[in-house]
Chain A
Amino acid sequence: MYASRNIELCSKDCLCLFVCPTGAADTETGQIDRDLCLDGCRLCVDACPSHAIYLVMNNYPEPGVKNEELTSLMMALLERKTEQEQAARNLESAAQKPGEKKLAMALGKSLRILAEDCAREAGFMLPQSRSVRDMLKELTETVDSEKNEIISKLLREIGKVK
């Protein structure tokens, strides 16, 4: 596990710098240097007066098996939300009136967020999970070479973190 800083909570009291044994907490980006952070050390987490530092897992457990009927239903709902999102995007690009354009833009964004929630509940929540890896592998058979290149990079990267 490595430490991560929620920069919006950080009050810059910098007590993490006093306790960090490797200097990982001291960076220009405001984020803790993951490569220097000691696995599970958590000295900075406990020292922070603003509760701005937490530990991120290196390995997440494989998500539990979901009810198959429900995942299919959530996938069907995702399909509907996407169709509506597409309709909102079409309205956005064709809109003549500024208020209508704003409405369409908001609907498109909102529908995408709903679609993403359906995607999580249809079994694709954790990037490094088996269901995501299997889905990516299956997808390689039906997409063009440009997308395949992205997918093979993805599978390589996921292999590093899982």
Chain B
Amino acid sequence: MCRLAAITSNEYISPMEPIMALETMKEGHDGSGLGLTLKNLGGAFEKLKKYPIMSGICSMAGKKMLDDFMKKEGFTLKHEWKPKLKQVKGIVPHDYYFARAYDYPAAFRNKSHQEKEDLLMNTRLSLRKIGEPGEALFVFSFYPDVLTLKEVGDPLQVADFFGLDDDRLKAKIILAQGRQNTNYAIYLYACHPFFIQGFCSMTNGENTAFVPIREFLSSRGFPGYMGYNSDSEVFTHILHYAVRQLHLPLPYYKDIITPLKSTEIDMRTDREALRLMKQSLRSLCIDGPNVIIGFTPDGTCFMVHDAKKLRPGVVGGIKGRYALMSEECGVDSAVPKRDRSKDLFPMKYDMVIVSPQAEEVKVWNQQQGQY
């Protein structure tokens, strides 16, 4: 089972912090991969917030593919960050790791936010399509102020391999996943966290309802709902579908993935809408066992479980810094000086929501439909 470590803070933190938290949970992952998504970037990217950042891995042939494609599409390179790679035993390096900030093509500079988002996603999908054969090019995210790093190996060794302790890379929200490879071959596109148009999530446990959910999402006619090399990718896409496409407030994500019983719905003030949602979004009900940790475009972070709470999760911290982890020892590592009695162990009806800048943490209760 994968281990998950997320930290949201009002100050820039190093990716080493969630990775060290993962290290405390090492019993639970087999070191088959590390995925990192950073949002609200510091360092060199702090001044480039309006420019989309493309994160990926490629071979030299893939790099040419990328350069040619981006040039053809009219994107201009503003800045490039490359990790200072170290040789680490057990990690077979790819040719080229990159996080590149681009300026939009001239025709898109004054377009709406939504149009720009669609352009970025479609560009990422096109690159995925041309780069996937022969694994020449992997693109994990292409969005302003978001950076993603993924590689196969033990998380700490991967961090060492990327030289993440060099202080160049910082962010206020960092999601890290230590991968436990189970059913699927180790493939970079199967590695969490998953990202789509500002929404990101990572999950542990298997998703037993994967196939019907995948079929439902794939048939929405939205080009970004693809891939699904991991059964957990659907959780990110359900989040995106609920909040961006259906314009539902974030807590309703919980109502979609783990709908209440009819008798429980009757107790909610929004029962009429819930009844309708339960029917129309029936195919997106998850059956677990999963804990999902994610963020939305405004920097809100959350943790939510399947209805049977078959995977644990804990949120703890202090104002300005909260850790959302799959295990308590991870929180101890990330925020050691806190009042542990205030740690939150969300139960089956709870959704823990940490506001942007880690300002406050709230628990939304599904039975009551309120915080």
- Say whether A associates with B: no
| Chain B residues packing against A (C-beta within 8 Å) | none
